[in-house]
Structure 1
Amino acid sequence: MQAAIERQAPGIKPHLSLISIFEALLDPIAFSGSLLGVANWFGVGGQPAYAVLAITVFLLAQPMPMHIDSGLKALYRGSWLKGVALFGILTLIGLLTGFGSAYAPEVLLVWFVVGPATAALARHAAHTFTPMVMAHAGYRQRAVIVGASHAGLAVADRLERSRRAGKRLLGFFDDRHSSRHARAGIHHLGKIKDLVDYVRDNDVDVIYIALPMSSQPRILQLLDELRDTTVSIYFVPDFFMTDLIQARMDDLGGLPVVAVCESPFTGVNGLFKQAFDFMLAAAILVMISPLLVAIAIAVKATSPGPVLFRQYRYGLDGERILVYKFRSMSVCENGDTITQARVGDSRVTPLGAFLRRTSLDELPQFINVLQGRMSIVGPRPHAVAHNETYRKLIKGYMIRHKVRPGITGWAQVNGCRGETETLDKMKRRIDFDLEYLRNWSFLLDLRIILRTVGLIRKDPNAY
């Protein structure tokens, strides 16, 4: 197999998808263009400040591409969430730099409504017309799948649902033909030995080989037999059917490799998230500094002990970090055995109960964010003692440490907060953490932050 890859490597060309470029540019153009349109409507479009702001909006909207394949509800929701994110980032930058005074508030407020609406309409139009444009332009390739395995069925499902793939699935080639592999509207075209003749006689453009990796001799034979055709061939390894974390293709000195378990915060994503964390944490600490002082005085005055509770927890890549919280208990456990807080816990002080219920005890963790130890959003850090226990009991537990722990997280806004007295409760929390790693986006972070703010007032799991 390796020899075959090496023989074919010189002929591999990077695939540049015009649809992907269109998706990446649609929102930046919609948001920046609508901003200039609103500015012109107010008669200030010719001012250089608005041109600079439009360029800034264009660049900020770029790391968050939309997906035409998504449903209309998701596309509309995404446009408004992106609008809120852009407006929030620009407001924060304006407060920190003082440049916010250069812009008329009425222009920005109108754009806050017009921008997401423009992006939503553009997304709707793209969702509706892109498949028709692709078909009219001839971007409709005929595809077959070799192997009615789980991987093959997954490919078929993607081709059926994808509006931008530009491919029409003709059917399967598989040596087995049973009801287990039957799919509505998808034909069994024959056995694998019939593939080459079918490709030559029916102008097939694309072949997806979804055979198990144990079928290496058969795969090599197929590649040899297809050498005198112009068909495009893709190999879908069966390990893609495992629970992958941020799976992606990479390049190692010209050798293609596949990331099976990777952090979502690599490259630009990592820089963007760290910059956002640092700016937001700094701004929040400045704004809440009087509150921090007041809570510190109250903690010191109402119960003996330190103001801050310091505890070692696992951070990025499983490294130990020191996490800060306002002390809410009469004890400061940081050993090999730690008892979780529970409802009516006698160790919780009266003030501590209020701080925990309102999440005010977590505020010192913004200092951890400035130190680079934590993120604003990410899997919540557990005590080292709990990590050592659950890593042996829950499969994939330590994968959550591929990213920095967060002050709030996807598990917490989905009700997984408080005591985990059963293994199932902890497993459910870990499932949400891994789901966050698989599906991370800046908009997901923003959604978690907004839901966290809503939970501060009332969270039945906070005690």
Structure 2
Amino acid sequence: MIHRYTTFIKAVNLTIDYIILNLSMVIAYLIEDKSYISWISNKAYLPVVLVFNLIWLLSANITGLYEHVLNKDSIKTYRGLIKTYLLFVSFICFTIIILIGTKAYFITREYLFYSLALFGFLLGFWKLIFLSIRRSDRSLLVDSRSAIIIGGGRIGNDLKNFFKNNPSRGYNVIGFFDDNPDVVQNKDLYLGSTSDCIRYVIANKVDEIFCTLPSAEAEKIERLMLDADKNLIRFKFVPDYYDYGIKPTSIQSFGHIPVISIRPEPLENILNRFIKRVFDIIFSLFIILFVFSWLFPILAIIIKLQSKGPVFFVQARSGRDNKTFNCYKFRSMKINDDSDKKQATRDDDRVTRIGKFMRKTSLDELPQFFNVLIGNMSVVGPRPHMLSHTEQYSLLIDKFMVRHFLKPGITGWAQVKGLRGETKTTDDMMARVEADVWYLENWSFLLDMKIIVLTLWNSVKGDKKAF
């Protein structure tokens, strides 16, 4: 099956890309360096190597370069490669030239040009080779296996249709075994009762058995499992919690009792929470000291000049575990009685002139870095809602409260996916909730970095839903 090789092929791609990157740097060093110091013993050169490697990893993660390497066609592969390369070059130029400077590590602009140009050429050539190999040998990666399904009900039929619609999984379903022939939709695929199953599998050299019988038939399932083990037949059980729409991702054993988690939560890992919290503290301190400190008096004066009222807008919002906290913002509206129940709309007459600018650039959110420092918010997470909205939508959307397993954030996955601003319908809010739940299930530190970069980019170019 193709999916069995995906991780391996992804690792091969990543490894070769890194070899090409570092080889390009070494060749550029040999071309440009006039000191005749071996590159491997040049201590001033090694930090540059680290920067190049880390930035390539960040760029590839942002663009998803190594995702679906076996399924993406050549156009999508090269499109993703070009996006990643351009992002990589941009980050390199910004980091090396602007942030740390070229003189600090004896880097010349010529070295940067040679290394980046050579890397781009070799990378493009390698991907051409990879696509050629993949095209000619893709059929060899498909490990086709024959299978039968025990249980011809809805679950069994859904499983058969899944394999039919996803040939890359490599399963060829021969038919069904069930003690009730009437439940099998396609009568041509009915092979007999469950007692005939093992004999048929042995006689026809079937590779695997998928059992979709309900747990109420535990005795029958156990007998089939034992018979399959005795005859070296792989037996896979499809549990009937499938009916609840649950997609389990981890199983813990409490003694001999399996306990299934219905969704992954990477931030339940204490190390992940520690990493996220340390980053929140460092990043919020940086923004407060180097951005907020000088921008605050400017914005405060303009806010006071344009409308009466306080500089800050403080509102009770729903936080982690649905605990209420005070969320801070620069006041972007005139004082009004609807601020705790009515969202801002396009051309809202409550928004001041400076307020429109702050909301467009998200500068009104800057005081929330104090919330992050305090600990009731994170830099990245689901946006906190007004209490009235939490109460309203928790009754309308089943998974709405799931987003409160996390600390709310200044920005989030929903926001960079364009799901920000006014929620005119329940469907709008549902899309935002789905994005927040996806973030909860797929959190990683690099994903947070990606969201922050995209947020900064959206602030620069302007977001049409920011008003």
TM-superposed CA distance for 1:350, in Å, is 2.8
Separation of aligned partners in 2, 1:96 and 1:248: 43
1:334-383 residue CA offsets vs partner (Å, 9 max, x unmatched): 99x52222344443223223322332212333443444443444322102
Q: AA paired with 1:305?
A: G
| Equivalent residue number for residue 430 of structure 2 | 427
Is contact 1:174–1:190 with CA below 8 Å preserved after alignment? Answer: yes
1:261 aligns with 2:263: yes
Out of 291, 308, 311, the position equivalent to 2:312 is 308
| Equivalent residue number for residue 171 of structure 2 | 168
| Equivalent residue number for residue 327 of structure 1 | 331
TM-superposed CA distance for 1:395, in Å, is 0.8
- The verdict on how the C-alpha distance between 1:225 and 1:180 changes in structure 2, with shifts beyond 3 A counting, is closer
1:206 aligns with 2:208: yes
Out of 391, 398, 404, the position equivalent to 1:395 is 398
- The verdict on how the C-alpha distance between 1:229 and 1:361 changes in structure 2, with shifts beyond 3 A counting, is same
- The verdict on how the C-alpha distance between 1:405 and 1:376 changes in structure 2, with shifts beyond 3 A counting, is same
- The verdict on how the C-alpha distance between 1:346 and 1:97 changes in structure 2, with shifts beyond 3 A counting, is closer
| Equivalent residue number for residue 418 of structure 1 | 421
1:299 aligns with 2:303: yes
1:143 aligns with 2:147: yes
Out of 331, 355, 363, the position equivalent to 1:352 is 355
1:233 aligns with 2:235: yes
| Equivalent residue number for residue 35 of structure 2 | none
- The verdict on how the C-alpha distance between 1:328 and 1:443 changes in structure 2, with shifts beyond 3 A counting, is same
CA RMSD of aligned residues (A): 4.5
Is contact 2:184–2:190 with CA below 8 Å preserved after alignment? Answer: no
Q: Percent identity?
A: 30
Report SS of the residue matched to 2:383: coil
Is contact 2:251–2:261 with CA below 8 Å preserved after alignment? Answer: yes
1:18-52 residue CA offsets vs partner (Å, 9 max, x unmatched): 84652563354234312211112212553455556
- The verdict on how the C-alpha distance between 1:223 and 1:400 changes in structure 2, with shifts beyond 3 A counting, is same
Is contact 2:163–2:171 with CA below 8 Å preserved after alignment? Answer: no
Report SS of the residue matched to 2:395: coil
Separation of aligned partners in 2, 1:20 and 1:308: 51
Is contact 1:172–1:189 with CA below 8 Å preserved after alignment? Answer: yes
Q: Which 5+ residue runs of structure 2 have no aligned equivalent?
A: 31-38
Q: Where does 1:185-200 land on structure 2 (aligned, <5 Å)?
A: 189-200=191-202
- The verdict on how the C-alpha distance between 1:446 and 1:389 changes in structure 2, with shifts beyond 3 A counting, is same
| Equivalent residue number for residue 36 of structure 2 | none
Separation of aligned partners in 1, 2:138 and 2:19: 25
Report SS of the residue matched to 1:223: helix
Is contact 1:285–1:366 with CA below 8 Å preserved after alignment? Answer: yes
- Aligned pairs, how many? 438
Q: TM-score, normalised by structure 1?
A: 0.74
| Equivalent residue number for residue 220 of structure 1 | 222
Separation of aligned partners in 2, 1:452 and 1:252: 41
Separation of aligned partners in 2, 1:76 and 1:180: 46
Separation of aligned partners in 2, 1:280 and 1:84: 26
- The verdict on how the C-alpha distance between 1:415 and 1:332 changes in structure 2, with shifts beyond 3 A counting, is same
| Equivalent residue number for residue 29 of structure 1 | 15
Q: AA paired with 1:220?
A: E
Report SS of the residue matched to 1:234: strand
Report SS of the residue matched to 1:170: strand
TM-superposed CA distance for 1:276, in Å, is 5.6
TM-superposed CA distance for 1:399, in Å, is 0.8
- The verdict on how the C-alpha distance between 1:152 and 1:37 changes in structure 2, with shifts beyond 3 A counting, is farther
Separation of aligned partners in 1, 2:298 and 2:123: 40
Is contact 1:75–1:123 with CA below 8 Å preserved after alignment? Answer: no
Separation of aligned partners in 2, 1:155 and 1:144: 9
TM-superposed CA distance for 1:397, in Å, is 0.7
TM-superposed CA distance for 1:197, in Å, is 1.4
Say which structure is richer in helix. Answer: 2
Q: AA paired with 1:233?
A: F
1:384 aligns with 2:370: no
Report SS of the residue matched to 1:208: strand
1:259-286 residue CA offsets vs partner (Å, 9 max, x unmatched): 2034243446656655665565555556
Separation of aligned partners in 2, 1:311 and 1:203: 67
- Further displaced range: 206-215 or 147-156: 147-156
| Equivalent residue number for residue 249 of structure 1 | 250
Is contact 2:210–2:237 with CA below 8 Å preserved after alignment? Answer: yes
- The verdict on how the C-alpha distance between 1:134 and 1:71 changes in structure 2, with shifts beyond 3 A counting, is closer
Q: AA paired with 2:314?
A: R
- The verdict on how the C-alpha distance between 1:360 and 1:55 changes in structure 2, with shifts beyond 3 A counting, is closer
1:153 aligns with 2:153: no
Q: AA paired with 2:224?
A: L
Is contact 2:332–2:351 with CA below 8 Å preserved after alignment? Answer: yes
Q: TM-score, normalised by structure 2?
A: 0.73
